[in-house]
Structure 1
Amino acid sequence: MTHFTHLNEKGEAQMVDVTEKEFSQRIAVASGIVQMQPNTLKMIIEGKHKKGDVLATARIAGIQAAKKTADLIPLCHPLFLTSVKLDLSPDIEANCLKIQATCKLSGQTGVEMEALTAVSVAGLTIYDMCKAVDKEMVISSIQLEEKKGGKSGNWQR
């Protein structure tokens, strides 16, 4: 049976004690999609949105979100991230923006939540900036793609 590390023997929520864990290089990659109307995507790609550069704003929001993950997710450890990168790629045929976040550090716990939070907030920022012109946008498929490092080793979707 799987053991939930965020619960103590009484079933109460707890922050996992990582004091004795070894430091290791850790990397996590997460992705997501923001589906939208073709005209909305065209406006973003051409930089003609009246609120400004949607892609640059979403990228900065995702980076900030990764750094604030411990403030947003109650049992996450505050981490010293060494790198946060966001890639926002338009897919004209699918009428969407693909978001990918890569987070890195040398530490005692993984960076999966930081990468997932970066993707989520980047998607929400795109939605916020474009909701006036496209209320039918859908943020979806937010998922971990890959993690490297730590006691559990490497994993890839």
Structure 2
Amino acid sequence: MGLSHINQAGEANMVDVSEKAVTAREAKAEGFVKMQPETLKLIVEGKHHKGDVFSVARIAGIQGAKKCSDLIPLCHPLMLSKVQVDFDIDEANSQVRISSLCKLAGQTGVEMEALTAVSVAALTLFDMCKAVDPSMVLSDIRVLEKRGGKSGHWQN
């Protein structure tokens, strides 16, 4: 199977999905932000001087998913029916796990939107906390699962 975004002449192009069936589709993704224990404590206890870091990062992640086609050149603009962004605190490893779920009824998948939601939420956490912890590390952003379309169910 070749790369879907390259035409026969080797040029980048947007995939034509007009003949694909409209099906229910969803994708889940995750990523991690590792930080100093003191930084994590500030966020969890709501004592960060910039306010509720998780609420801002959640909204940023949702906005990121909605703007995915503006950021990634060959992505189709999609009518998302659900975008969910969640945070799990891992105090033992001093990190936050960010997860996303994106859903729609459409002709193409939502993996890129799920990845963008996690990425933008992670970048927002970094942006809001960089003054107190510039050594934070964003890592392991990946698709966990996708459903729908011709390929059906896939899980990482």
Normalised by the shorter chain, which TM-score bucket? over 0.9
Partner of 2:14: 15
What is the Cα-based RMSD across aligned positions, in Å? 0.4
Matches for 1:6-155 after TM superposition, within 5 Å = 6-155=5-154
Q: Secondary structure at the match of 2:92?
A: coil
Q: Hey, what's the Cα distance between the residues in 2 that align with 1:122 and 1:48?
A: 19
Deviation of 1:87 after TM superposition, in Å, equals 0.6
Letter in 2 for 1:35: K
Structure 1: which amino acid aligns with 2:55? A
Structure 1 residue ranges, 4+ long, deviating more than 3 angstroms after superposition: none
- Where does structure 1 lack aligned partners over 5 or more consecutive residues? none
Deviation of 1:113 after TM superposition, in Å, equals: 0.0
SS in 2 for 1:110: coil
Amino acid at match of 2:116: T
Q: Give the length in aligned residue pairs.
A: 156
CA distance in 1, matches of 2:81, 2:115: 16
CA distance in 1, matches of 2:59, 2:139: 20
TM-superposed deviation, 1:100? 0.1
Deviations 1:48-86 (A, max 9, x none): 000111000000000000000000000000000000000
- d(CA) in 1 for partners of 2:4, 2:128: 38
SS at match of 2:70: helix
Q: Deviations over 1:29-64 (max 9, x none)?
A: 000000000000000000000011100000000000
- TM-score normalized with structure 2 length: 0.99
TM superposition score normalised by structure 1 = 0.99
Query: Which runs of 5 or more structure 2 residues have no equivalent in the other structure?
Result: none
Deviations 1:101-140 (CA, angstroms, capped at 9, x unpaired): 0000000000000000000000000000000000110000
Amino acid at match of 1:147: K
2:148 partner amino acid: G
C-alpha distance in structure 1 between counterparts of 2:2 and 2:88, whole Å:
38
- Taking the aligned partners of 2:82 and 2:92, their CA distance within structure 1 comes to 31
Q: Distance in 2 between matches of 1:83 and 1:29?
A: 12
Question: Cα distance, 1:89 vs. partner?
Answer: 1.1
2: CA distance, partners of 1:32 / 1:148:
19
